Amino acid sequence: MRTIFDICSPGRIGVSLPGLDVPAHEGLPENLNREGDGGAGLPRASEGQVMRHFINLGSMNYHLDKGMYPLGSCTMKYNPKLHENLARMEGLAGIHPLCPDSHVQGTLELMHHLGELLCEITGFQGVSLQPAAGAQGEFCGIMLIKSYHESRNEPHRNEVLMPDSAHGTNPATSTLADCVVVGVESNEQGLVDPEDLRRKAGPNTAAFMLTNPNTLGLFESHIGELTSIVHEAGGLNYMDGANMNALLGIARPGDMGFDVCHLNLHKTFSTPHGGGGPGSGPVACNGKLADFLPEPVVVREEDGSFSLKRSRDSFGRLLAFHGHIGVLYRAYAYIMSLGAEGLREVSEAALINANYLKARLSGHFDNPFDHGPCMHEFVLSGDRQAKLGVKTLDIAKRLLDYGIHAPTVYFPLIVHEALMIEPTETEGLEELDRFVEAMISIAKEAEEKPHLVTDAPVNTPVLRLDEVKAVKDLCLVEPAAEEGDPE
């Protein structure tokens, strides 16, 4: 499709601004102004042309209001429409972040209350709403743990233990936090091997990072033993809360020996994914770590008012301001609309939907870790199809032809040709069956007409794209118009 720069013509504009009603001040000195650099090269189009351009772009997108996203560990659930309106209310969206506390009591109360709700949901005592996304929540959590060790005169603790099935952000976060990653092996059941953890936990252990349910969709059933091993070695336990959608009202990280976890509000709490963000990754922790939470923290004063407090031992701040407040509004609305019973219903339905898909698909694909019920997701292997020359990537692309988004593929790394499937609770039986039928049909195609799968997709706005060329002939911006071209 043409770019916005292709529909530009001199004189076009998409806004009307009031005229300048104050005297013009003299211009900037020559060494500071842009005149020598030419214009900024921005588009020139009318409002209608801009609308049409972006609507046409949007028509090339798959999205949740069109169909399901069976994306494991991503929890792509329905985004309630009312919450978009609420977050846009003038009284909530029109407030400057440096507005004095006295004039932002509504938002501060909401933040304080949301913090309490997240503590109840996770079984923790302290919370920071500041982290921008899950990965920044992880960074926050590891920094809390480091601060704790430093306060106990153990700054040398710099090893972060994690299973080989961990999300990529876990090791990347550990590096960012100046720690060393130590891998822990999984056993045949797909769970962390306690013996290997025991071997690796020791005097340099800062933290053990674990996703529970893990990235195979399995609950780490000996979780108490794992967290005890780490505590006995003097380390702390971090839960990656990406899979919290399985546990609402069912089990709490704070009750399993974890010391801190992050939550992905853009997963579990239904805030929109926005094509890649914004997320929000609040961190909840127990009393050992609460003093180190990053500033600012909302507190309730004795007179019932709310204020932002800088905490004494905080390790610093993660964002310029207080966090993704607009995302917090939506997550708060979600929790309030569901209540305790509704949240439990979320996880129950998520588990049933995942187990239903697993039951219906297991005969058609390999399922290397099928030792009983899964939680909210499960991981199939495309090994059987790969032997026929049809890779998991091909299966993913063929699903697009069936009008369904692909599952998460090639993750976790411990499963060959992995297809990681998470339907979420907001998909109905009809949609689940449509997905099952597409998958079975593709499995059959792989046996009978494999080229249909390996040539896929063919029903999409573009065909399979050349990623090698994208790297080799880097084109990251629209080239500037040639000289002599009409600007």
Partner 1 sequence: MSRFIPDSRTNREDMLRVIGAESFQDLLKPVPEKYRMSRPLDLPGPLSEMELVRAFRELAGRNLGAGMVCFAGGGAYDHFIPAALDHILLRSEFYTAYTPYQAEVSQGTLQAIFEYQTMIARLTGMEMANASMYDGGSAAAEACMMAMRVTGRNKVLVAGSLNPRWLGVIRTYIRRKDLQLDEVPFGSDGTLDLKVVEDLAGDDTAAVLVQYPNYFGLVEDLEPLAETVHRHKGLLIAAADPVALPLLRSPGGAGADIVVGEGQSMGIPLSYGGPYVGFMASTVKLARKMPGRIIGRTEDRAGQTGYVMTLQTREQHIRREKATSNICSNQALMALANTVYLSLMGEEGFREVSSQCYHRSHYLEEGLMEIPGVSRMFGDTPFFREFVLSFPVPAEELRGRMLDEGILAGVLLPELGEGAMLITATEKINRSQLDDYVRLSSGICRGGVS
CA angle 64, 67, 69 (to 5 degrees): 65
Nearer to partner 1, 390 or 404 (CB): 404
- Considering only the stretches 97-105, 230-238, 283-291, 438-446, report the one whose residues sit in contact with partner 1 under the rule CB under 8 A: 97-105
Name which of residues 213 to 272 contact partner 1 (CB under 8 A): 218-219, 221, 223-224, 248-252, 255-256, 264, 266, 270, 272
Q: Could you tell me the smallest distance in angstroms from the CB atom of residue 330 to partner 1?
A: 11
H helix or E strand, kind and range, residue 121? helix 105-122
Cis before 479 (ω within 30): no
Q: Are 382 and 283 in contact (CB under 8 A)?
A: no
* Residue 39 CA neighbour count, 13 Å, CB half: 8
Given 110, 184, 192, 197, the residue binding partner 1 (CB under 8 A): 110
Q: What is the DSSP string of 3-22?
A: -GGGG--TT--S---PPP-S
Nearer to partner 1, 255 or 387 (CB): 255
Q: Are 165 and 216 in contact (CB under 8 A)?
A: yes
Name which of residues 315 to 344 contact partner 1 (CB under 8 A): 315-327, 329, 333, 335-344
Q: Could you tell me the smallest distance in angstroms from the CB atom of residue 364 to partner 1?
A: 14
Closest among 216, 346, 384, 173 to 270, alpha carbons compared: 346
Does the footprint of partner 1 cover residue 134 (CB under 8 A)? yes
Q: Could you tell me the smallest distance in angstroms from the CB atom of residue 417 to partner 1?
A: 17
Given 198, 372, 416, 434, the residue binding partner 1 (CB under 8 A): 372
Nearer to partner 1, 276 or 484 (CB): 276
Name which of residues 174 to 213 contact partner 1 (CB under 8 A): 174-176, 178, 181
Class of residue 430 by CB neighbours under 10 A (exposed 0-12, middle 13-18, buried 19+): exposed
Taking CB under 8 A as the rule, which mask of x and - marks residues 427-446 in contact with partner 1? xxx-----------------
Question: What are the residues facing 237 on neighbouring strands?
Answer: 208
- Considering only the stretches 9-17, 228-236, 384-392, 442-450, report the one whose residues sit in contact with partner 1 under the rule CB under 8 A: 9-17
Max distance between CA atoms of the chain, in angstroms, equals 77
Q: Are 246 and 273 in contact (CB under 8 A)?
A: no
Given 194, 278, 368, 450, the residue binding partner 1 (CB under 8 A): 278
Q: Could you tell me the smallest distance in angstroms from the CB atom of residue 51 to partner 1?
A: 6
Separation of alpha carbons 235 and 227, rounded Å: 9
Q: Could you tell me the smallest distance in angstroms from the CB atom of residue 387 to partner 1?
A: 24
Nearer to partner 1, 447 or 458 (CB): 458
Q: Could you tell me the smallest distance in angstroms from the CB atom of residue 381 to partner 1?
A: 19
Q: Could you tell me the smallest distance in angstroms from the CB atom of residue 200 to partner 1?
A: 16
Name which of residues 347 to 366 contact partner 1 (CB under 8 A): 348-349, 351-353, 355-356, 358-360
For the chain, the first-to-last Cα distance in angstroms comes to 20
Q: Are 102 and 234 in contact (CB under 8 A)?
A: no
Extract the runs of DSSP E, i.e. beta strands, from 304-381: 306-309, 378-381
Taking CB under 8 A as the rule, which mask of x and - marks residues 382-411 in contact with partner 1? --------------xx--x----xx----x
Work out the angle between the directed axes of helices 429-448 and 392-401 (0-180°, nearest 10): 120
Nearer to partner 1, 256 or 447 (CB): 256
- Considering only the stretches 66-74, 282-290, 378-386, 446-454, report the one whose residues sit in contact with partner 1 under the rule CB under 8 A: 66-74
The strand order across the sheet containing 126-128 reads: 126-128, 283-285, 260-263, 236-241, 205-211, 159-163, 180-184
Q: Could you tell me the smallest distance in angstroms from the CB atom of residue 40 to partner 1?
A: 5
CA angle 284, 286, 287 (to 5 degrees): 130
Name which of residues 444 to 483 contact partner 1 (CB under 8 A): 457, 460-467, 469-471, 473-478, 480
Q: Could you tell me the smallest distance in angstroms from the CB atom of residue 69 to partner 1?
A: 6
Q: Could you tell me the smallest distance in angstroms from the CB atom of residue 403 to partner 1?
A: 9
Separation of alpha carbons 390 and 219, rounded Å: 31
Nearer to partner 1, 51 or 416 (CB): 51
Q: Could you tell me the smallest distance in angstroms from the CB atom of residue 339 to partner 1?
A: 3
Name which of residues 136 to 175 contact partner 1 (CB under 8 A): 136, 138-139, 143, 168-169, 171-175
Sign, CA dihedral 309-314-316-319, equals negative
Q: What is the β-pairing status of strands 378-381 and 418-421? A: antiparallel
Separation of alpha carbons 235 and 226, rounded Å: 11
Name which of residues 25 to 64 contact partner 1 (CB under 8 A): 25, 28-29, 31-34, 36-37, 39-45, 47, 50-51, 53-55, 57-64
Tell me, by CB under 8 A, how many residues bind partner 1. 197
